[in-house]
Amino acid sequence: MGDFTLELSDDQKDVRDWIHGFAADVIRPAAAEWDEREETPWPVIQEAAKVGLYSMDFYAQAFFDPSGLGIPVAMEELFWGDAGIGLSIVGTTLAAVGVLANGTEEQIGTWVPQMFGTPDDVKVAAFCSSEPDAGSDVGAMRTRAVYDEAKDEWVLNGTKTWATNGGIANVHVVVAVVDPELGTRGQASFIVPPNTPGLSQGQKFKKHGIRASHTAEVVLDGVRVPGSCLLGGKEKLDERLARARERQRGGERVKNAAMATFEASRPAVGAQAVGIARAAYEVALDYAKTRVQFGRPIIDNQGVAFTLADMRTRIDAARLLVWRASWMATAGKPFTAAEGSMSKLYAGETAKWVTASAMQILGGNGFTREYPVERMHRDAAIYTIFEGTSEIQRLVIARTISGVPIR
């Protein structure tokens, strides 16, 4: 475990510069095209895989960086390039983290490599938790997993929605209810291997932003997976369910565990928002220095210059919150004030505000697709919605700092 530091090591700087180079040379020039096409940018993912930026090894190394800064630095640079393509590249990691967090060593070794594929045959993975009636309210989940003891198989039925890479993934990680009496404690995660009968893609969504990232419904109709696809294994699940039933009998409130589960992964999402905000700020700063009105560059006006000052200040503050929470997660520090949620909340809101401010500074040009800030603004909007909306982050923070079960 490393001490908290704001000074990146030489190695970390090299990795950051390498990712930045890829973002500038490969991702940014392709951004507008894939946004318009609203399709997964397979050639860019392939290119990322070829240079080693899309692989299990790369993310494992970043994840295990003892300073905790490996992931946020990588995310910021990729999403500085473009958020839609960035999400297509890192969407797989959401599913991989689901396996790393709950899976056995054997499950990790079997399934995570299949999520990425190989540079010659790249694959993506999907994490399917949200449902039409269970978004923020994870406890309302209805997808059921029933154990068929005779065959040692689990049978999954239900409809998932909003799944990034849903239906086009090689491996799907599906969260399902195994004991409806236990709320979120009665849920478990399953691997659905490639080409499993009964899993199909439902509606593909046409979105406001991050349009290069595929988002779709996933329908599970009598999907049968081997017992070995239950993440963590049956013995561990049975122990966990027995403990939860014991607590419930003892009158202990069954908390919404899912809210806490994502606390450690939220800074990574915050870092993506910081990347988008920084990209828009840089475009606006350049523009303000060169655009002349009333015989002087528009940055000569305090109204414009002070906005840029606020943009930069908020971006740096967001990054500091993200780095703090990432370090805490790696160092195993308890999130006593929901610092993970704080970082995601502030970075998401910052990205939305900074990209809107950038559009304003670019005037009419900011409103057109000739300039990238309009796309960045559309992309930033998702950062107050997915991975827990801003309201849910505030709920988590308020409950954590007060101990009051605020509704």
Ligand X SMILES: Cc1cc2nc3c(=O)[nH]c(=O)nc-3n(C[C@H](O)[C@H](O)[C@H](O)COP(=O)(O)OP(=O)(O)OC[C@H]3O[C@@H](n4cnc5c(N)ncnc54)[C@H](O)[C@@H]3O)c2cc1C
Q: Could you list the active site residues?
A: 387
Write out the DSSP string of 245-279. Answer: HHHHHTT-----HHHHHGGGTHHHHHHHHHHHHHH
The residue (of 296 and 407) whose beta carbon lies closer to ligand X is 407
φ/ψ of residue 210, rounded to 5: 35, 50
Size of the site for ligand X (CB under 6 A): 21
Angle (nearest 5°) at CA 42 between 39 and 48: 130
**Min separation Cβ 349 and ligand X, Å:** 13
**In terms of CB distance, is 374 or 387 closer to ligand X?**
387
* Shortest spacing between CB 2 and ligand X, in angstroms: 30
* Residue 119: CB minimum distance to ligand X, A: 24
* Closest CB 50 distance from ligand X, rounded Å: 25
CB closer to ligand X out of 53 and 124: 124
Draw the binding track, 68-107, toward ligand X (x: CB under 6 A; -: no contact).
--------------------------x-------------
- Contacts (CB under 6 A) with ligand X, residues 111-150: 127-130, 135-136
Which amino acid, one-letter code, is at 43? P
**Token representation of residue 320:** 């500091």
Q: Binding to ligand X by residue 226, rule CB under 6 A?
A: no
Locate 400 and state its tokens. Answer: 């954590």
Token pair, residue 254, equals 């069954």
Q: Which is nearer to ligand X, 70 or 167 (CB)?
A: 167
Binding status of residue 164 toward ligand X by CB under 6 A: yes
DSSP state of 161: E
Query: What part of residues 388-407 is at the interface with ligand X (CB under 6 A)?
Result: 389, 391-392, 395
Task: Confirm if 74 and 14 have CB atoms less than 8 A apart.
Answer: no
Q: Which of residues 197-216 bind ligand X (CB under 6 A)?
A: 207, 210, 215
350 neighbors 314 (Cβ within 8 angstroms):
yes
Do residues 116 and 186 lie in contact, with contact meaning Cβ atoms separated by under 8 Å? no
- The smaller minimum CB distance to ligand X, of residues 104 and 389, is found at 389
Minimum distance from CB of 198 to ligand X (Å)?
19
Work out which of 89, 345, 347, 382 binds ligand X, going by CB under 6 A: 382
Q: Under the criterion CB under 6 A, does residue 228 sit at the interface with ligand X?
A: no
CB 350 within 8 A of CB 278: no
Distance CA 378, CA 262 (A): 24
Q: Under the criterion CB under 6 A, does residue 187 sit at the interface with ligand X?
A: no
- Minimum distance, C-beta of residue 288 to ligand X, in the bound complex (Å): 31
Token digits of residue 28: 């940014």
Residue pair 152/227 in contact (Cβ under 8 Å)? The answer is yes
Which segments of 103-256 does DSSP mark as H helices, in order? 105-116, 234-249
Q: Is the dihedral of CA 108, 114, 119, 124 positive or negative?
A: negative
Query: In the numeric block, which tokens belong to residue 129?
Result: 């938790």
Binding of ligand X by 386 (CB under 6 A): yes
* List 27, 141, 163, 279, residue binding ligand X (CB under 6 A): 163
For ligand X, give the closer residue by CB, 365 or 389: 389
Tell me the CB-side half-sphere exposure of residue 230, using CA atoms within 13 A.
Answer: 21
Residues engaged in binding ligand X (CB under 6 A): 94, 127-130, 135-136, 162-164, 207, 210, 215, 382, 385-387, 389, 391-392, 395
